[in-house]
C-alpha cells in the first residue's frame, strides 16, 4: 500500500516526452500566452511563417519564421488597442490573414474580425475590419478562413438578441472576395437561442458555458457542409449549399451527462469518420472527462459515437490548471497543412500534447506524449498546452496557454 506521499496521485505533474522530438522552444519574447489560432504561410520571399494568435491582451498576434524549425525567429509581434479584448483566433489563406476580435464585455469596440495583407510578414497591413459589435455582442471568438473567399465564424451581431446572455455567438458566413468590403451572406443559430424564436430556449447545463458557436469548419471535399461545434449545444452538420440559408442536417451531443463545451468537429472524409472534441474550461479537472470522440459518420444524418481517445488518470492531473481535451490538428485545407486520417494530435492543457493512432477507430491508441517541464513563470505550475498545428513537412507546432510560447516538434512514431 502506498503512503500518501508516495502516491502518484499526490506527486503531481511529471514531465514526459514519448515519441516526440523537441526541435525548438521559443518563449516569444516573454509574451508566450497563446490562443487557438495557428496558421502557416509561405511568404512571397519563400520564408515559412507560422502566425500565432494570443490568448489575451496585450498582444494581438505573433509571426515566427520557422523556415529552419530548429531556429525559430520572431519576425512580428503586434499589440491590441486595449486590454478589454482578445484575438484568440486567426487563419491565413495565401497572403491574407483574418484575425478574430472578441471583447471582454458586450457593446465594446473593436468586436469583429480584421483582414490583413501579410505579404510582408514584418509589416502586416490592415485591409478592412468587419464590425460585429452590439449591445448583446462580444464580437468574434473563432473564425475559419482557408479559401480566401469566405470567413466562417462564431460571432455576435448588433441585431441578435439572445434568449440567454451566454448564447451570444452563432454561425455567420462573411463574403470577403472583395477583402476591403466584407459582406455577411448567411447565418444560423440554434433554435431557441434568439429572442423571437418559435421554440423554447434550451435548458441550462450545471456548468453554463452557453449555447453558442465555436469551431465553424468547412472543407473543399464537402464545400456544401459546415461542421459546427456549438459548445453546450453539442455539434451540428449544416447544409450550406445555399450560404444564405444554412439548414441543419444532423445534431449530436454528449451532454448531459457530460459537461458540455463541444469545441471542434473534424470530418475524415475518406473514412466516413468524424472527430469531435470537448474543451476543458475548469481548473483541477472539475469538468472531467473532456475527451476526443470518434464518430461513425458514414451516414451524416445518424452520427454514432464509437470510441474516445484514451486519457490518463485525471486524478494525477487534477491539481493545477486545466486538464482535458481542447484543440486538435484540423487537417486545414491548405497546402501548408499536414493531412492525416490515421493520426490525431490533440492538446490537453496540463496533459500536454498527445498523439493517437486511429487506424482502428474502435481502438484509438496513444502513440506519443509531449508534456514538457513547466516553463519559467507558469502561473499554474504546469504547462497548459492549448493548440496544435502540423505543417505539410509533418513538423508539429504546439503552444502554451499561459507563458510557454511555441514548441516545435517532430513526430517519432
Closest among 153, 298, 140 to 217, alpha carbons compared: 153
Residue in 273, 295, 328, 396 binding other proteins, rule: CB under 8 A:
273
Q: In this complex, which beta carbon is closest to other proteins, that of residue 183 or of residue 304?
A: 304
| CA separation, residue 232 to residues 105, 152, 208, 213 (Å) | 20, 20, 7, 9
Total residues contacting other proteins by CB under 8 A comes to 34
Q: In this complex, which beta carbon is closest to other proteins, that of residue 258 or of residue 407?
A: 407
Beta strands in 89-194 (DSSP E): 90-93, 96-103, 112-117, 125-131, 140-144, 150-155, 170-175, 183-188
Interacting positions 363-382 with other proteins (CB under 8 A): 365-368
**Least CB distance to other proteins at residue 272 (A):** 6
Residue in 110, 361, 375, 405 binding other proteins, rule: CB under 8 A:
361
Q: In this complex, which beta carbon is closest to other proteins, that of residue 64 or of residue 343?
A: 343
Residue in 154, 292, 295, 411 binding other proteins, rule: CB under 8 A:
411
With b meaning 16 or more CB within 10 Å and e meaning fewer, what string describes 10-34? Answer: eeebeeebeebeebebbbbeebbbb
Does 412 sit near other proteins (CB under 8 A)? yes
State the number of CA atoms in the 13 A half-sphere of 378 facing the CB.
Answer: 22
Place of cell 523537441: 22
Residue in 64, 176, 238, 343 binding other proteins, rule: CB under 8 A:
343
Strands 365-371 and 16-18, by their bridges, are antiparallel
Q: Read out DSSP for 345-364?
A: EEE-BTT-EEEEE-SSTTS-
Q: In this complex, which beta carbon is closest to other proteins, that of residue 84 or of residue 359?
A: 359
Residue in 167, 341, 391, 400 binding other proteins, rule: CB under 8 A:
341
Residue in 175, 184, 357, 392 binding other proteins, rule: CB under 8 A:
357
Q: Which stretch binds other proteins (CB under 8 A): 145-153, 201-209, 249-257, 335-343?
A: 335-343
For residue 384, the tally of other CB atoms under 10 A from its CB is: 30
Q: Which stretch binds other proteins (CB under 8 A): 4-12, 42-50, 132-140, 194-202?
A: 4-12
Q: Sort residue 210 into left (φ over 0), alpha (ψ -120 to 50) or beta.
A: left
Residue in 105, 220, 313, 335 binding other proteins, rule: CB under 8 A:
313
Place of cell 520564408: 47
Does 345 sit near other proteins (CB under 8 A)? no
Does 22 sit near other proteins (CB under 8 A)? no
Q: Sort residue 231 into left (φ over 0), alpha (ψ -120 to 50) or beta.
A: left
DSSP H or E segment with residue 317 = helix 314-317
Does 298 sit near other proteins (CB under 8 A)? yes
Closest among 57, 55, 54, 50 to 24, alpha carbons compared: 50
Q: In this complex, which beta carbon is closest to other proteins, that of residue 190 or of residue 292?
A: 292
* Contact residues: other proteins, CB under 8 A: 2, 8-9, 11, 14, 16, 18-19, 268, 270-273, 296, 298, 312-313, 316, 340-343, 357, 359-362, 365-368, 411-413
Amino acid at each position: 500500500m502506498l503512503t500518501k506521499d508516495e502516491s502518484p496521485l499526490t506527486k503531481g505533474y511529471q514531465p514526459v516526452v514519448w515519441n516526440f522530438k523537441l526541435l525548438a522552444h521559443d518563449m516569444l519574447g516573454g509574451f508566450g500566452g497563446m490562443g487557438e489560432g495557428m496558421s502557416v504561410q509561405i511568404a512571397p520571399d519563400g520564408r515559412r511563417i507560422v502566425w500565432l494568435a494570443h490568448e489575451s491582451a496585450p498582444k494581438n498576434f505573433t509571426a515566427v519564421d520557422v523556415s529552419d524549425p530548429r531556429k525559430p525567429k520572431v519576425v512580428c509581434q503586434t499589440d491590441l488597442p486595449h486590454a478589454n479584448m482578445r484575438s484568440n483566433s486567426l487563419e491565413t489563406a495565401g497572403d491574407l490573414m483574418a484575425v478574430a476580435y472578441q471583447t471582454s464585455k458586450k457593446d465594446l469596440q473593436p468586436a469583429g474580425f480584421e483582414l490583413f495583407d501579410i505579404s510582408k510578414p514584418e509589416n502586416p497591413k490592415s485591409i478592412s475590419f468587419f464590425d460585429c459589435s452590439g449591445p448583446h455582442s462580444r464580437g468574434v471568438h473563432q473564425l475559419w478562413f482557408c479559401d480566401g473567399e469566405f470567413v466562417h465564424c462564431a460571432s455576435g451581431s448588433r441585431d441578435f438578441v439572445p434568449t440567454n446572455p451566454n448564447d451570444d455567438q452563432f454561425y455567420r458566413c462573411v463574403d470577403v472576395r472583395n477583402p476591403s468590403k466584407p459582406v455577411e451572406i448567411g447565418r444560423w443559430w440554434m433554435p431557441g437561442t434568439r429572442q423571437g424564436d418559435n421554440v423554447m430556449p434550451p435548458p441550462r447545463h450545471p456548468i453554463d458555458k452557453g449555447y453558442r458557436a465555436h469551431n465553424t469548419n468547412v472543407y473543399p471535399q464537402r464545400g456544401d457542409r459546415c461542421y459546427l461545434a456549438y459548445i453546450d449545444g453539442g455539434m451540428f452538420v449544416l447544409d450550406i449549399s445555399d450560404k444564405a440559408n444554412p439548414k441543419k442536417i444532423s445534431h449530436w451531443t454528449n451532454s448531459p451527462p457530460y459537461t458540455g463545451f463541444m469545441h471542434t468537429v473534424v470530418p475524415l472524409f475518406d473514412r466516413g469518420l468524424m472527430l469531435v472534441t470537448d474543451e476543458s474550461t475548469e481548473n483541477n479537472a472539475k469538468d472531467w472527462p473532456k475527451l476526443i470522440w470518434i464518430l461513425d459518420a458514414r451516414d451524416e444524418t445518424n452520427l454514432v459515437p464509437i470510441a474516445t481517445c484514451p486519457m490518463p488518470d485525471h486524478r494525477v492531473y487534477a491539481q493545477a490548471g486545466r486538464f482535458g481535451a481542447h484543440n486538435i490538428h484540423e487537417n486545414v485545407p491548405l497546402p501548408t497543412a499536414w493531412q492525416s486520417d490515421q493520426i490525431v494530435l490533440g492538446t490537453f492543457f496540463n496533459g500536454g500534447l498527445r498523439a493517437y493512432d486511429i487506424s482502428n477507430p474502435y481502438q484509438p491508441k496513444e502513440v506519443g506524449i509531449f508534456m514538457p517541464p513547466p516553463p519559467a513563470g507558469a502561473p499554474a505550475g504546469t504547462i497548459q498546452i492549448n493548440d496544435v498545428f502540423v505543417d505539410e513537412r509533418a513538423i508539429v507546432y504546439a503552444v502554451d496557454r499561459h507563458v510557454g510560447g511555441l514548441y516545435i516538434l517532430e513526430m517519432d512514431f
